[in-house]
A and B are shown apart, each in its own frame.
Chain A
Amino acid sequence: GAGVSQSPRYKVAKRGQDVALRCDPISGHVSLFWYQQALGQGPEFLTYFQNEAQLDKSGLPSDRFFAERPEGSVSTLKIQRTQQEDSAVYLCASTRSGGALNEQFFGPGTRLTVL
């Protein structure tokens, strides 16, 4: 596709529900990142994939957060038993190659609201 796409764009969940957020990176991009952006703040790193391998998940805030990229393209961020503090915009980004010295292309984000 022309850019990174994310779905859904908006998600409202009741506290305790599980949610799944999808990211379609730019075709052929090796690296995929997930970020969490709270209102009024910069994006905070959650996890990183190089192809299907999750190389860094140090930013995931708890074991309720799980991400996967089984075929090295589409990725899903799953949040179990959502809490109000999980409310944020979840951003996905991809880069053509691996590592931290490449231009990232961001999707529009999924805004999650937990009631």
Chain B
Amino acid sequence: EDKVVQSPLSLVVHEGDTVTLNCSYEVTNFRSLLWYKQEKKAPTFLFMLTSSGIEKKSGRLSSILDKKELSSILNITATQTGDSAIYLCAVEKTSGSRLTFGEGTQLTVNP
């Protein structure tokens, strides 16, 4: 059975801190790993990772995939209160486009 595990499940930090969120997976026919940010209802797409070792970056957020370790990390530097959200990791299979989601990490950034 496909599995995606995220850690930690929740995290509370102060503005300006740097955080690292983890995602590990066990899936057959892996195609890509995706990160989403969910603030209210709809998850907002952050990154799609298909190749190992290549960092993707967008502003203060960055992410990298390690296919050997079957894992990915999402880094957020100089956190702001607006970064408070649930961060979801999902894995896509080559056999279809269905996504398997992890439980999510609830990040709270306090002023």
Answer whether A and B are interacting partners: no
